[in-house]
Structure 1
Amino acid sequence: MKRIITALLLATVMISCAESEMESNPAVPTLKNAYEDAFFIGTALNRSQIFGQDEEGVQLTKTHFNAISPENVMKWENIHPEPGVYDFEAADRFVEFGEENDMHIVGHTLVWHSQVPGWVFEDEQGNDLSREALLERMKDHIDTVVGRYAGRIDGWDVVNEALNDDGTYRESRWYEIIGQDYLVKAFEYAREADPEAELFYNDYSLEVPSKRDGAVRLVEYLQENNAPITGIGTQGHFSLDWPSMSDVEQTITDFAALGIDVMVTELEVDVLPSASGYRGANISESEELREELNPYTEELPDSVHQQLSDRYAELFELYLEHSDDITRVTFWGITDGDSWKNNFPVRGRTNYPLLFNRQWEPKPAYDAVIEVAEQHSAE
């Protein structure tokens, strides 16, 4: 037993030393080192990583990423579950982790149609709030949350997913009760709470021309009304064959032309068959699990690994071409096992959309992304 314990301790020390060497030696290829002259490389952290339970995931984050976003812990239902009740434990730990590791810290998200408790829009009798009362409730939330981390969180996803897939405004409770200018007010309140933070609009499927055009109009509306928007997050929920690279590039250039920063905020590449042809990220979408929709339950075939590698390579080649406009590329999760795509839009599937596998090991797609950076540096 003593020999086993000694061997385990020795193995732990060796792994720790190897990880420390990777972090300190710039010659060792890590994502953040490879792209340090281009843009931040980020990831989204879940609760097990924020609280240190996923030790391997935490180490990968420290080694490879220099920007972090919270996957869920800062959404309204988690951080402000009841009137007058705030739960900052997980958010505090998230911010402390970023500070301890000198990371670019992003808050996600302040105003969204989803994961918001029903009471937010109702009075004590269950009736809809007036416009003025809902604005007051929004301001209180933003003042409290953004104000708590003023000077510590670098940027906020102020408004999330305000558009339908055709580019029209989503008729959320915010829109129905307040009107279109809820967007302006959210940005104004965020600026008041933290005069220095970067402030973003964040949405998915902006590569679809109609939705992209709607988002351009949205940003122009904010700018015309002096709302302090500084950047846009294009979520990057992609697949092996969608969207086209021309649409990805058009999205970057259209928003850069508005004079704001462009970020890829929730990147992954879905390798599984589409359930119904739906390409967006509306979390209310759901499809039944069928065998043909879950073809890689044990492992990903080499041929699909190659497709995934090629897809990531062409994406990062494009991102580097536009690195003057792109400030951050954030993966939505650390490993395949963390990814929400295992359950969306079909629950219970085995997906492989990220650069690290379920054993916290780099995949061929990781090597492809590193190789793109190395080739770019050599040119």
Structure 2
Amino acid sequence: MRPIESLNITRRDILTAGAGALTAAAAPALAVSGNQESLCARANRKGLLVGSCLDILQVNDTQLVNGLSQDCNILIPENAFNWTRLQRTQGSPLDFSEAEAVAAVAKRIGVTLRGHNLVWYATMPAWVSAIVPTLTATQASNLMTSHVKAVASHWRGRVVHQEPVNEPTEAPGKLRSAVFGAKLGEHYIDLAFEAAREADPDAVLFINESGIEQETPWQTGCRKTFLQLLERLKKRNAAIDAVGVQGHLTLDAPFSQDAYARLLRDISDMGYKIMITEFDIGDKGILGSIAPRDAAVAALGKAFLDVSFDNLACGGVLDWSHVDKYSWLRKKTNAQRTDGQPLRPSPLDDSYKRKPLWYAMAAAIDGASKR
């Protein structure tokens, strides 16, 4: 493993020094050399996965798809696996048309496919949220596991990863109690993974979590809660193969390489594989022109990915929108900049040009040990 020079990035660093305190850490990534190889070519040499999400509204964007074909060896349908997209009304057949459109793009450009959030509190259809409180525990379990099995069975042999449960942690010391959690307790997680394993024995099954990577009291509390959950799940022999660390970072929260490395070590020491599954960096925490903003984003991204790839259990990274203009963060009210300028959280800008974050990702991949 390569040595890491420990880096702690604080909000004070960003606000008082602009990007200056950070740019040195990202210098290897930001030096645009003659090597313009794609992220995919770099990742393939290292045995890493590198990918992005793609939504139904973007499948006909030729420039985007061309960029994904160059940089990615795996894609994930951004929203198409959401239960709300698959079955809006009770009793209706599952509608896989949106996910199939993304799968068709993946097949056309020759990349693999990852499944996403079979059970997620944020995308429960209204009819599911309404009916579950009226059901017995057995009935609720059957409803959930039947859905998981139906979706996983449809995609058996076509996805390499499946994600039965997304974001089980609600707050420090508290797991999600919405819908199935309220009826079944945390054992809904075990049941969802058991159903997915039965339906698709070959897919790598992920539990996916957000808000555990940076050093706010909230995130450190959620990190502890999530790790404790993983320990309990391991003791119960839940059918979980891997942990998805989402990697939604922000410049207005501190980051510690040491603390993040401990998190990944704690996960891998339990025997779980790791992927960075939804990587982006919100830049509302720094004022000024585009150049220092992009430099700060790249520095944080490089610091984060260096640690990620130094843990050999980490198999790669997927960004959550390869192009700025499609980022979900631009639609999130509390993520916006005070100066009204659009966020720049992705590897490519609105014109599909490579940004400093792209070069930071390239440098981190180049520095990773071969898997």
1:234: which partner in 2? 245
1:189: which partner in 2? 195
Find the aligned partners of 2:255 and 2:160 in 1 and give their Cα distance: 30
**Given the alignment of the two structures, is residue 361 of structure 1 paired with residue 353 of structure 2, yes or no?**
yes
Superposed CA RMSD in Å reads 2.2
**Matching residue within 57, 65, 69 for 1:48:** 57
Other structure's SS at 1:362 match: coil
Q: Answer with 1 or 2: which has the greater Rg.
A: 1
Please report how far the alpha carbon of residue 315 of structure 1 lies from its aligned counterpart in structure 2 after TM superposition. Answer: 2.3
Per-residue CA deviations over 1:182-223 (Å, capped at 9, x if unaligned) read: 111000000111111111111111233322222122122222
Q: 2:250·2:285 contact (CA, 8 Å) conserved in 1? A: no
Please report how far the alpha carbon of residue 319 of structure 1 lies from its aligned counterpart in structure 2 after TM superposition. Answer: 2.7
Find the aligned partners of 2:365 and 2:277 in 1 and give their Cα distance: 19
**Given the alignment of the two structures, is residue 203 of structure 1 paired with residue 195 of structure 2, yes or no?**
no
| Aligned residue type for 1:159 | V
**Given the alignment of the two structures, is residue 30 of structure 1 paired with residue 30 of structure 2, yes or no?**
no
Other structure's SS at 1:315 match: helix
**Matching residue within 61, 74, 80 for 1:73:** 80
Find the aligned partners of 1:373 and 1:149 in 2 and give their Cα distance: 29
Other structure's SS at 1:109 match: coil
Map 1:47-126 onto structure 2 (within 5 A): 47-49=56-58, 52-85=59-92, 86-123=94-131
| Aligned residue type for 1:249 | A
Please report how far the alpha carbon of residue 329 of structure 1 lies from its aligned counterpart in structure 2 after TM superposition. Answer: 0.7
Moved more, 199-208 or 72-81: 199-208
**Identity level (%):** 24
Over 3 Å counting, the alpha-carbon distance change for 1:167 and 1:237 in structure 2 is farther
| Aligned residue type for 1:246 | D
1:175: which partner in 2? 181
Moved more, 196-205 or 236-245: 236-245
Please report how far the alpha carbon of residue 146 of structure 1 lies from its aligned counterpart in structure 2 after TM superposition. Answer: 0.8
Q: 1:121·1:128 contact (CA, 8 Å) conserved in 2? A: no
Q: 2:173·2:222 contact (CA, 8 Å) conserved in 1? A: yes
Moved more, 333-342 or 360-369: 360-369
Q: 1:44·1:333 contact (CA, 8 Å) conserved in 2? A: yes
Over 3 Å counting, the alpha-carbon distance change for 1:230 and 1:28 in structure 2 is same
TM score, norm. by length of structure 1: 0.80
| Aligned residue type for 1:301 | I
Per-residue CA deviations over 1:89-147 (Å, capped at 9, x if unaligned) read: 11112223323333231111111111111211444xx9622211111111221121111
Other structure's SS at 1:114 match: helix
Find the aligned partners of 2:127 and 2:207 in 1 and give their Cα distance: 24
**Given the alignment of the two structures, is residue 325 of structure 1 paired with residue 325 of structure 2, yes or no?**
no
**Matching residue within 278, 303, 312 for 1:314:** 303
Other structure's SS at 2:175 match: coil
| Aligned residue type for 2:298 | S
Runs of at least 5 residues in structure 2 that lack an aligned partner in the other structure: 1-34, 214-218
Please report how far the alpha carbon of residue 339 of structure 1 lies from its aligned counterpart in structure 2 after TM superposition. Answer: 0.7
| Aligned residue type for 2:323 | T
1:215: which partner in 2? 226
Moved more, 87-96 or 231-240: 87-96
Please report how far the alpha carbon of residue 304 of structure 1 lies from its aligned counterpart in structure 2 after TM superposition. Answer: 1.8
2:8: which partner in 1? none
Other structure's SS at 2:262 match: helix
Find the aligned partners of 1:307 and 1:82 in 2 and give their Cα distance: 45
**Given the alignment of the two structures, is residue 143 of structure 1 paired with residue 143 of structure 2, yes or no?**
no
Runs of at least 5 residues in structure 1 that lack an aligned partner in the other structure: 1-26, 275-294
Per-residue CA deviations over 1:161-193 (Å, capped at 9, x if unaligned) read: 111230421221111112221111000000111
Per-residue CA deviations over 1:237-262 (Å, capped at 9, x if unaligned) read: 11235332222212211101110101
Over 3 Å counting, the alpha-carbon distance change for 1:80 and 1:301 in structure 2 is same
**Matching residue within 152, 158, 168 for 1:162:** 168
Find the aligned partners of 1:127 and 1:68 in 2 and give their Cα distance: 35
Map 1:289-304 onto structure 2 (within 5 A): 300-304=289-293
1:20: which partner in 2? none
Find the aligned partners of 1:301 and 1:149 in 2 and give their Cα distance: 42
Other structure's SS at 1:262 match: strand
**Given the alignment of the two structures, is residue 338 of structure 1 paired with residue 345 of structure 2, yes or no?**
no
**Given the alignment of the two structures, is residue 263 of structure 1 paired with residue 295 of structure 2, yes or no?**
no
Find the aligned partners of 1:156 and 1:127 in 2 and give their Cα distance: 27
Find the aligned partners of 1:171 and 1:195 in 2 and give their Cα distance: 28
Q: 2:56·2:101 contact (CA, 8 Å) conserved in 1? A: no
| Aligned residue type for 2:198 | E
Find the aligned partners of 2:142 and 2:368 in 1 and give their Cα distance: 50
Find the aligned partners of 1:316 and 1:175 in 2 and give their Cα distance: 32
Find the aligned partners of 1:374 and 1:178 in 2 and give their Cα distance: 45
Corresponding pairs, count: 324
Over 3 Å counting, the alpha-carbon distance change for 1:372 and 1:180 in structure 2 is closer
Please report how far the alpha carbon of residue 38 of structure 1 lies from its aligned counterpart in structure 2 after TM superposition. Answer: 4.5
